[in-house]
Amino acid sequence: MKKEEPLDVQTEADFEQAIELVDEEVEAEQLDTSIIVDIKGEVQKPGVYEVDQHVRVSDAISIAGGFTEDADQTQMNLAQRVHDEMVIIVPKEGEEIIAVSTPGETTTTDEDRNKIRINQATLEEIQTLNGIGPKKAQAIIDYREEHGSFQSVEDLIEVNGIGEKTVENMKESIIVP
């Protein structure tokens, strides 16, 4: 929330108006952190859901009513963070997971599993990237929090202290969006 001058509250009407303003600001902040995920397969209520950007796959499945009796939970990474436009498919016992691509995203491969999702990565995860120490990792997180998710790898050049050479060195180790 932006730091503003204190509200002049002299009457009950002023107080109620001040509460409404604070509620609107809080609601606007909450909207900024939501993403959309599509949950399919063996869940009680498959569908498209708006969730907080920090939700894990297990949380998203709970929002969709939980697993059905036939769900095969062993094929899923329930600890994985969800990302905008993610498709979560819960297979039946004995079924194989089919990779699904969303616009702007490639199908997940074994090679991609070792890459860092730069829009969800923690400080520690970002520091594992080639040429990134604590200060640059924090700069990436600060930039992401101030400007929103990175749309392309090249957007990282906008981060203070990150140049073309650094982006080139970590290009193969990250996934955007």
Please tell me the least confidently modeled range out of 11-15, 48-52, 91-95. Answer: 11-15
Strands 174-175 and 116-117: parallel
Domain residue limits, the chain: 34-108, 116-175
Computed from CA positions of residues 74, 99, 54, 90, in that sequence, does the dihedral angle turn out positive or negative? Answer: negative
Task: Confirm if 74 and 97 have CB atoms less than 8 A apart.
Answer: no
Q: In the predicted model, what is the mean pLDDT of residues 58-70? A: 95
Work out the average pLDDT over 41-47: 94
The rounded distance, in Å, linking the Cα atoms of 88 and 37 is 7
All residues at 6 or more sequence positions from 106 whose CB lies less than 8 Å from its CB, including other chains: 112
Return the CATH number of the domain spanning residue range 34-108.
3.10.20
For the full predicted model, state whether its pTM sits above 0.85. Answer: no
Q: Look at domain 116-175 and name its CATH class.
A: mainly alpha
Q: What's the rounded Cα separation, in Å, for the pair 82 and 36?
A: 9
Does residue 67 carry a pLDDT above 90?
yes
User: What is the rounded CA–CA span in Å between residue 174 and residue 118?
Assistant: 6
Task: For residue 150, give the nearest of 112, 172, 121 by alpha carbon.
Answer: 121
Instruction: Give the list of residues 6+ apart from residue 113 with CB closer than 8 angstroms, or none.
Output: none
**Would you state the structure tokens that stand for residue 104, as one six-digit string?**
């702007």
